[in-house]
Amino acid sequence: METKNTPVSELEQDILKVLVTEEEIKTRVAELGAEIHERFAGRNPLFVMVLKGAFIFMADLIRETGLRSEVEFIAVSSYENATESSGRVKIKYDIQQDITGRDLVIVEDILDSGNTLAFLKRYFLTKGAQSITIVTLLDKPSRREKSIQADFVGFTVPNEFVVGYGLDYAQRYRNIPYIGVLKPEVYGS
């Protein structure tokens, strides 16, 4: 069989192993969508996606919830292309509407140190949100610095450098369709 030399296959040369397959992601996202539907049936939650890493997860998840809902986007940064969180979270792009009294569902790709979500939860409550529900595709509890947990977790992962399905290293690998572990030599460890 002829192998296609696609850009994705070039990226895949840097992957050490597959941690979560495309099929496993699809199944789990559908389950999460159903659970979130049940939690918010008859209500109008505002889904807030944390750019950029959650963009693929968010797109798949909201279609699985089947809810009458709205979306907003927020961009924050604490990594600045480093592999360790600096702990200082900065807003680079904010949501565009009043959230007073709203039920927010924050959608993240990964909960790592917890700095980002601890900051966002506090920030949105200060802005008047009625409730905050956190959904994360991946949870890496071994790296937690802040006391925060997600209400919905796709997969709990070990402390390995994961990329794909939206997650990057130095802005690359987001378009790999599964979650993979990056070869250590790629990030110089």
Of 18, 30, 72, 77, the one binding ligand PRP (CB under 6 A) is 77
Segment contacting ligand PRP by CB under 6 A, of 25-33, 64-72, 106-114, 178-186: 106-114
Amino acid at site 106: I
Is residue 110 involved in binding ligand PRP (CB under 6 A)?
Answer: yes
Work out the end-to-end distance of the chain between its first and last CA atoms, rounded to an integer number of angstroms.
36
Of 79, 123, 161, 178, the one binding ligand PRP (CB under 6 A) is 79
> Which residues 38-67 are close enough to bind ligand PRP by CB under 6 A?
50-53
Per-residue contact flags (x/-) with ligand PRP for residues 1 to 40, judged by CB under 6 A: ----------------------------------------
Say whether 98 is catalytic.
Answer: no
Per-residue contact flags (x/-) with ligand PRP for residues 80 to 99, judged by CB under 6 A: -----x--------------
Q: What are the residue numbers of the active site?
A: 112
